[in-house]
Amino acid sequence: MPIEADKSLKHLNTFGIDCKARRFVTIKTKEDLKAVLATEKDKPLFILGGGSNMLLTKDIDALVLHIDLKGISVVSENESEVIIEAQAGENWHQLVQYCLKQDWGGIENLSLIPGNVGAAPIQNIGAYGVELQDVFVSCEALHIVTQEEKRFFRPDCQFGYRESIFKKEAKGAYIITSVQLRLSKKEHLLHMHYGALQKELKERGLENPTIQDIAETVIQIRKSKLPDPNQLGNSGSFFKNPVIDLDTFQSVIKAHPEAPFYEVSATEYKIPAGWLIEKAGYKGRRFGDAGVHDKQALVLVNHGNATGKELWELALRIQQTVKDQFGIFISPEVNVY
């Protein structure tokens, strides 16, 4: 495994930020991973997957491990369902496409989410009414210090909205090497209740859609709102949708009866951060090459040569304006380094 020095990460993060890794190694097998950890575990390490959920604000003064483990296999199956295992370095969307080709259902709503399989459990990826936890069986992870392999089953992962144990007490402790999912082979349970999806299916006249129809519709909606990282650097939603208490919710609705919201519980509501950011006047704005997407204000974009610092300054400015205007704190969804 050759270790490269001063490697540019521009093409390895979807924001397209030109930061460097002081040392960099691509990991193709679990054996290689164990070997690297055995010699490097006491030195600073940085785990890089698909680079789709991070903002680099400085060069990485560590050994960057680019996890490139590949493979999709069937663990077990019966007449109605299949359990598959995908290695951490598989591209998430390619996995979804592979499953759709076999007519395996469960992750069609999660089409076109950028990033790799290994990162999916960390933030419990979700879109259009489905979250990874709905199909998740387990993942295998390697402890960085002890190099012990551990299997995390669904309850172990403490999944929540864009949350898991890997963002909390196990943060930075493990490298996820593979993920197992339970998918349906027939009588697929379709998730069509998400507003934008329901509307688009209706417009397309798809009353009894297949899982492939749902995937195509989701892809269409995403393409119309979310920029393609190959054309415009971005990291999907930059902020999480904030969960607010009843008092705050009532004051927002009083001032803006048109505000979209979701009820989380009797005392908690979620207001789309994209709506708050748009109301705060940032949608489509640009400060140098750092900007806010013109079709979805939740997405920060790199118009060319923005630095991570410039994007982070913009994020902080947005956060402050939303706080001043609505009394609501929006926290980043992406990992900022």
Give CA–CA dist 92/89, Å, rounded.
9
- Per rule CB under 6 A, is residue 272 in the interface with ligand EPU? yes
- The window from 99-107, 133-141, 270-278, 308-316 that contacts ligand EPU (CB under 6 A) reads 270-278
Indicate the residue among 296 and 307 with the shorter CB distance to ligand EPU: 296
Q: Among candidates 97, 21, 99, which has minimal Cα distance to 54? A: 21
Give CA–CA dist 224/206, Å, rounded.
19
Q: Among candidates 56, 37, 48, which has minimal Cα distance to 116? A: 48
- Per rule CB under 6 A, is residue 327 in the interface with ligand EPU? no
Q: Among candidates 49, 99, 101, 41, which has minimal Cα distance to 74? A: 99
- Per rule CB under 6 A, is residue 14 in the interface with ligand EPU? no
Which residue's C-beta sits nearest to ligand EPU? 236
333 is catalytic: yes
Give CA–CA dist 273/194, Å, rounded.
17
Residues 87-126 within binding reach of ligand EPU (CB under 6 A)? none
Residues 153-192 within binding reach of ligand EPU (CB under 6 A)? none
- What's the min distance (Å) between Cβ of 260 and ligand EPU? 3
Indicate the residue among 40 and 278 with the shorter CB distance to ligand EPU: 278
Q: At what angle do helices 92-101 and 211-225 cross, to 10 degrees?
A: 150
Q: Among candidates 15, 90, 96, 87, which has minimal Cα distance to 57? A: 15
Choice from 60, 84, 298, 315 touching ligand EPU (CB under 6 A): 298
- Per rule CB under 6 A, is residue 236 in the interface with ligand EPU? yes
- What's the min distance (Å) between Cβ of 311 and ligand EPU? 15
- What's the min distance (Å) between Cβ of 2 and ligand EPU? 33
The alpha carbon dihedral of 28, 34, 40, 41 has a sign of positive
**Encoding tokens for residue 135?**
């199909």
- Per rule CB under 6 A, is residue 296 in the interface with ligand EPU? yes
237 is catalytic: yes
- Per rule CB under 6 A, is residue 241 in the interface with ligand EPU? yes
Indicate the residue among 111 and 177 with the shorter CB distance to ligand EPU: 111
Burial class from Cβ neighbours inside 10 Å (0-12, 13-18, 19+) for residue 245 reads: exposed
- Per rule CB under 6 A, is residue 81 in the interface with ligand EPU? no
- For residue 3, give every residue at least 6 positions away whose Cβ sits within 8 Å of its Cβ, in sequence order, or none: 23, 24, 25, 63
Active-site option among 23, 162, 182, 222: 162
Give CA–CA dist 162/124, Å, rounded.
5
- The window from 54-62, 134-142, 204-212, 232-240 that contacts ligand EPU (CB under 6 A) reads 232-240
Tell me the site size for ligand EPU, rule CB under 6 A: 20
8 is catalytic: no
Looking up tokens 């933030």 gives: 123
Residues in the chain: 337
113 close to 92: Cβ distance less than 8 angstroms: yes
- The window from 81-89, 95-103, 205-213, 293-301 that contacts ligand EPU (CB under 6 A) reads 293-301
Give CA–CA dist 187/136, Å, rounded.
19
Other beta carbons within 10 angstroms of residue 295's beta carbon come to 12
Indicate the residue among 224 and 320 with the shorter CB distance to ligand EPU: 224
Choice from 297, 301, 311, 322 touching ligand EPU (CB under 6 A): 297
Under the rule (CB under 6 A), what is the footprint of ligand EPU? 127-128, 194, 196, 225-226, 236-237, 240-241, 260, 272, 274-275, 278, 283, 296-298, 333
Residues recognised as catalytic: 162, 237, 333
